[in-house]
């Protein structure tokens, strides 16, 4: 063991920075997290996600599959053991529409998640006649603002610090360890900010638009229909997540945009299409016998636009000198958070062993 704990500054307090920071704290590092946006800020992108575990990795994307794998069991454990984490266990029904059935494929995690079940019309009552097959598995819904608050509290509990600060250059992070000393390592978890941050300026980062409607009506389980047939605009999907505290979060769309075309205006027509699909594919939303909070119409709590911090080529997880980069998770930042944090810890341990000649 080194004489004193290695010092780390994590830049970014979204799910990526908080999870990486917490894992480092639990493994003998002295961690300060700094960020422009911290849990509790509506502007923090991580607070706007659904969120679920439903790996998007392709059948041959083994590295990304490895990032997604640990999160599945970690989130189920949190759902079962940590009531303040804002996570609960749910079933996910993924449906193929009759117009897209030839494009439908079983996911790689068919053999990874327990109790994975194929669905077709012979064994399952579908919520609409135009859905013809699919699959079901156990997963989680994460109420993201609650989970971020949980992570925030854990970081403090394990001796870390969180401070609001915006830096212009990644090397400026050297000034922010709570001890006043220069850190041994910097973790860059700035997501879309990596595009603008001096010393990084990663032009592979781009935004992918999402459109969310939160309603007080509850549904039985998560449902996904992808892609949505007859969409006026390509890239629309239907997904609904039943949240632990009740109510549902419904999407949405997946529209890559240019960085200077980001806007947060609500598209009322898309909102209407989302609501129409919700009523069709989750009819229990309007049934007060299913849940007492359900009204005969959808009761909108909020509607917003948010951008997935996406990177050409996928997540950047690598060390560059004393900086470890962990950003670019796009639409998968929750499900990949435990896997990429484990990658950060491995890179940090190797670096400290090399530079300090000792193992943690
Ligand atoms: C509509 C929608 C639905 C989604 N659903 C899911 C889902 O179901 N499952 C899933 O796994 N993922 C989902 N995601 C994706 C997920 O939300 C993101 O991948 C994840 O939140 C990214 O986390 P992050 O910590 O990397 O980035 P962010 O949350 O953006 O955090 C970046 C941090 O860096 C800080 N920062 C940036 N630049 C600077 C700077 N110069 N100085 C100081 N601080 C800086 C920011 O202030 C912030 O604290 C969804 C996203 C959207 C938009």
Superfamily of domain 1-86+143-204+313-360: NAD(P)-binding Rossmann-like Domain (3.40.50.720)
Residue nearest to atom 19 of ligand 1 (CA): 333
For residue 52, how far is its CA from the centre of ligand 1 (angstroms)? 14
Nearest of 354, 343, 349, 355 to residue 64 by alpha carbon: 343
Residue nearest to atom 48 of ligand 1 (CA): 12
- Only one residue has tokens 């609904």, namely 240
**pLDDT at residue 230, rounded to an integer:** 62
Would you say 63 is a known binding-site residue? Answer: no
Q: At what angle do helices 15-26 and 337-356 cross, to 10 degrees?
A: 50
**pLDDT at residue 234, rounded to an integer:** 75
| Dist. CA 8–CA 150, nearest whole Å | 21
**pLDDT at residue 62, rounded to an integer:** 95
Would you say 190 is a known binding-site residue? Answer: yes
Choice from 191, 211, 337 to test ligand 1 binding pocket (greatest atom count within 8 A of CB): 191
Q: What parts of the chain have a pLDDT lower than 70?
A: 1-3, 229-233, 358-360
- Only one residue has tokens 């608050």, namely 149
Assess whether the C-beta atom of 87 lies below 6 angstroms from ligand 1: no
**C-alpha 54, offset from chain centre:** 10
Residue nearest to atom 14 of ligand 1 (CA): 331
**What is the chain's mean pLDDT, rounded?**
95
Assess whether the C-beta atom of 52 lies below 6 angstroms from ligand 1: yes
Residue nearest to atom 18 of ligand 1 (CA): 333
Dihedral of the alpha carbons of 174, 175, 180, 186, in degrees to the nearest 10: -30
Residue count (the chain): 360
**pLDDT at residue 1, rounded to an integer:** 46
| Dist. CA 102–CA 314, nearest whole Å | 27
Looking at the structure, give the CATH architecture of the domain made up of residues 90-140+205-311: 2-Layer Sandwich (3.30)
**pLDDT at residue 113, rounded to an integer:** 97
Instruction: Spell out the domain ranges in the chain.
Output: 1-86+143-204+313-360, 90-140+205-311
- Only one residue has tokens 């041994």, namely 184
């Amino acid at each position: 063991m080194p004489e004193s704990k290695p010092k780390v500054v994590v830049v970014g307090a979204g799910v990526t920075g908080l999870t990486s920071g917490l894992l480092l704290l639990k493994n003998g590092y002295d961690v300060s997290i700094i960020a422009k946006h911290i849990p509790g800020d509506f502007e923090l992108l991580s607070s706007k996600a659904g969120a679920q575990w439903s790996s998007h990795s392709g059948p041959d994307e083994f590295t990304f599959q490895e990032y997604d794998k640990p999160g599945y069991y970690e989130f189920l454990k949190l759902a079962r053991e940590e009531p303040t984490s804002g996570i609960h266990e749910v079933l996910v029904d993924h449906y193929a529409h009759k117009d897209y059935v030839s494009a439908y494929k079983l996911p790689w995690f068919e053999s990874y998640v327990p109790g994975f079940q194929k669905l077709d019309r012979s064994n399952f009552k579908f919520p609409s006649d135009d859905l013809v097959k699919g699959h079901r598995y156990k997963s989680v819904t994460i109420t993201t603002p609650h989970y971020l608050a949980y992570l925030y509290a854990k970081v403090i509990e394990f001796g870390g610090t969180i401070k609001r600060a915006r830096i212009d250059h990644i090397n400026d992070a050297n000034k922010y360890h709570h001890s006043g000393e220069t850190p041994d390592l910097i973790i860059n978890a700035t997501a879309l900010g990596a595009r603008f941050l001096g010393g990084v300026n990663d032009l592979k980062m781009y935004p992918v638009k999402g459109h969310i409607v939160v309603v007080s009506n509850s549904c039985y389980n998560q449902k996904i229909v992808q892609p949505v047939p007859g969409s006026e605009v390509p890239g629309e999907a239907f997904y609904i997540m039943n949240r632990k505290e009740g109510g549902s979060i419904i999407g949405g769309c997946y529209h890559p945009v240019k960085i200077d075309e980001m806007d947060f205006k609500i598209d009322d027509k898309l909102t209407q299409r989302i609501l129409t699909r919700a009523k069709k594919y989750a009819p229990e939303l309007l049934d007060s016998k299913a849940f007492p909070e359900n009204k005969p119409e959808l009761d909108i709590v909020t509607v917003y636009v948010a951008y997935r911090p996406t990177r050409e080529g996928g997540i950047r997880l690598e060390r560059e000198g004393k900086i470890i980069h962990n950003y670019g998770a796009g639409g998968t930042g929750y499900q990949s958070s435990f896997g990429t944090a484990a990658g950060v810890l491995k890179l940090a341990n190797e670096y400290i062993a090399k530079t300090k000649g000792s193992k943690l």
